[in-house]
Structure 1
Amino acid sequence: MAAVPTCGRITAPPLVPFLAALAILVGALSVLVGPAPLSPAEIGAALLGGGDQIARDIVFQIRAPRALLSLLIGAMLGLSGAALQGLLRNPLADPAVIGTSSSASLGAVIALYFGVARAAPLALPLMAVAGALLGLAALLPIARRSEGPSTLILAGVAVSALAGAGVSLALNLAPNPFAVSEIAFWLLGSLSDRSLEHVLLATPLIAAGAALILFQARALDGLALGEDAARSLGFDLGRVGALVAAGVAIGVGAAVAVSGSIGFVGLVAPYLARPFTDQRPSRSLAPSALIGAVLLGLADILVRLIPTSTELRLGVVTAMIGAPVFIGVLLRPNAPGAGR
């Protein structure tokens, strides 16, 4: 007889299609929003290859790439957060908290500082990936040896501080004001002025990173039972950690390279998904990715709707939303470390 789902929980099969439909709806709304007044009929005609040439250019060159990137990057951040929380058995882990995003940012800033990004477009995402890999490589040994989440989080703070110092050094030694402005605005995070070229640059790396993570879903379930239990089930923990770390680094590195620093999505998305799934980490991967896509898509719509003289930066909005949620997680009675 099939098990009856726990009251108040939505099991993964119906949850995933619902979230997928919601992500598609958010993507469609994103295409509708912009400074140029286009009606739904004009946008529909442009998507079908008809209508005015200007409308087609706006839809295909500006709005559609931006909508796609918001969903792709949000999904990668949400998936990475869920994977790291499962790997480290730490519900407060995400690419930003453990320094991965900061390390990726440093790699991208180096590419901007030396002008490599202008000479070779692929250099920016590749150097961001390299930075993320270096940051995670420093943390994995600590994660395996630490007896609790506090050591890992403190190590992540140290990695973030070191990467931040490198970024500050690049700003300090920038050869001209234009370089300073380029780095500073990129670090705030934004999807404005992104094109299909950015989609083509980011999508393969994000897909590769997501695939590496999803292939380790069963191993993450084994780790939830403890390291000894996972080994008895035949999982090579060193290999699992390396593959998940590589997936996070590749995917987040590509995301950061395109969007700049986007914080808190990787933390908030798994936190919102977990109450609607069972305790297996694998069951939270897809919902976390879809919730991340919805959150970042909505945030990107919000920055265009808020009436300001200059469009708000996406990283600023996600931080303003995510920071209170992060504090709420810490203040919960059953939060990690509560009452200790």
Structure 2
Amino acid sequence: MRWLTPSLMVLLLLTATASTLAGTVWLSPHQAFASAFSGKADLAGLIVTEIRLPRVMLAIAIGASLGLSGAVLQGLLRNPLAEPGLLGISSGASLGAVVAIYFGFVAALPLAAPVFALVGAFVAAGIVLLLARTGGTLALILAGVAISGVSTALVMLALNLAPNPYAAYEIMTWLMGSLSDRSWDHLALALPFIVPGLALLLSTGRALDTLALGDVQAESLGVPVARTRLLALVGTALSVGTATATAGAIGFVGLMAPHVVRPLVGYQPGRALVPAMLAGALLVTLADIATRTVVLAGAPLNIGVFTSLIGTPFFLWLVMHVRSRTA
């Protein structure tokens, strides 16, 4: 539908604007924009420019990465339950961050956790690519599940052997996902990887439409299946790996966003990419607003916890829906 992408862009702009106003200190639109562009170092200006703007931009970039990668993987694997964590890249990134926290690198370098997480994401993607290089879609899924299982086991081992309660707390906080205390430095670290990753994922759109017929049929029509699989894997490693490296584990967005928009684009994998990217950005931005405004048992929710609370019922509904369609 022609109006879908413009509508999502308008909604995202409105949500991003609301995100700059919401928080412990609520700001009026006039107060926020006047302070941001006045050049004065007042409290409202500092809150907007140094705290909320980088947080909003990160939420948009991370959500776009999760939504787009989910749409690409569901089209590539022809599996409606596929999402970025299926390839083990998110787990690899989490393991990298846990290594940085466990061995105390974070104390010496504040950006050590995202840097190590980024390395972990690329290592996981490389191993998956090596394991599945001679196989097809099933080999890619099995390799991703294996890497995800190994990474999760090592993370649990690090928690079990944490040298002190503070390290265990930092690891758990990272695994729950958060955009708190993110700055322009985190954004500068993330965008050089996320933007090329998104470009690679978007380049697979035409091939995904043909892959819906099957690998053999797509090959006979001239679609380079192996190249498309490589682009999807590298693009996911760049974008989702960096997203996880920056904000920790944020689940279910890559699963939900494509399904929200797919009925509106005629269930064509290629046409769902841009709307899914915008829907993912919208979901993460809304979730970030909720983490600053919803308080349970006297404590705010982490963004990964919030998306899981919403995504788990959605996943169960999706499983039942898929089962009813195949029965």
What residue is the counterpart of 2:57 in the other structure? Answer: 68
Deviations 1:146-191 (A, max 9, x none): 3xxxx97676554433211110112223333322221111111010
- Kept in 1, the 8 Å contact 2:77–2:137? The answer is no
- Kept in 1, the 8 Å contact 2:90–2:121? The answer is no
Give the AA of the match of 1:307: V
Deviates more, 1:256-265 or 1:112-121: 112-121
Q: Cα–Cα, structure 1 residues 335 and 254, in superposed 2: closer, same or farther, change >3 Å?
A: farther
1:126 aligns with 2:118: yes
1:20 Cα deviation (Å)? Answer: 0.9
1:131 Cα deviation (Å)? Answer: 4.2
TM-score by length of 2: 0.91
Which 5+ residue runs of structure 1 have no aligned equivalent? 1-10
- Kept in 1, the 8 Å contact 2:208–2:269? The answer is yes
Match of 2:44 among 55, 64, 89: 55
Give the AA of the match of 1:188: M
Match of 2:301 among 303, 312, 330: 312
Deviates more, 1:231-240 or 1:67-76: 231-240
Match of 1:79 among 60, 68, 74: 68
Which 5+ residue runs of structure 2 have no aligned equivalent? none
Match of 1:280 among 259, 264, 268: 268
Give the AA of the match of 2:201: I
Give the AA of the match of 1:130: F
TM-score by length of 1: 0.87
1:186 aligns with 2:174: yes
1:38 Cα deviation (Å)? Answer: 2.4
Measured in 1, the distance between the counterparts of 2:29 and 2:137 equals: 55
Match of 2:8 among 15, 19, 27: 19
Q: Cα–Cα, structure 1 residues 234 and 333, in superposed 2: closer, same or farther, change >3 Å?
A: closer
Deviations 1:311-336 (A, max 9, x none): 21110000000010011011015667
What residue is the counterpart of 1:301 in the other structure? Answer: 289
Match of 1:202 among 173, 190, 194: 190
1:100 aligns with 2:92: no
Match of 2:78 among 83, 89, 92: 89
Deviates more, 1:326-335 or 1:286-295: 326-335
- Kept in 1, the 8 Å contact 2:195–2:239? The answer is yes
Aligned-residue sequence identity (percent) comes to 46
Give the AA of the match of 1:317: F
Match of 1:326 among 293, 312, 315: 315
1:142 Cα deviation (Å)? Answer: 9.1
1:32 aligns with 2:12: no
Deviates more, 1:136-145 or 1:193-202: 136-145
Measured in 2, the distance between the counterparts of 1:298 and 1:257 equals: 20
Deviations 1:55-74 (A, max 9, x none): 11111111111111111101
- Kept in 1, the 8 Å contact 2:74–2:81? The answer is yes
Measured in 2, the distance between the counterparts of 1:300 and 1:47 equals: 21
1:134 Cα deviation (Å)? Answer: 4.1
1:42 Cα deviation (Å)? Answer: 1.3
1:49 Cα deviation (Å)? Answer: 2.8
- Kept in 2, the 8 Å contact 1:42–1:55? The answer is yes
Match of 1:228 among 208, 212, 216: 216
Deviations 1:84-107 (A, max 9, x none): 011111111001244332222112
What residue is the counterpart of 1:6 in the other structure? Answer: none
Aligned alpha-carbon RMSD (Å) = 2.3
Give the AA of the match of 2:150: L
User: How many pairs were matched up?
Assistant: 323
What residue is the counterpart of 1:3 in the other structure? Answer: none
Measured in 2, the distance between the counterparts of 1:139 and 1:272 equals: 32
Give the AA of the match of 2:26: P
- Kept in 1, the 8 Å contact 2:60–2:284? The answer is yes
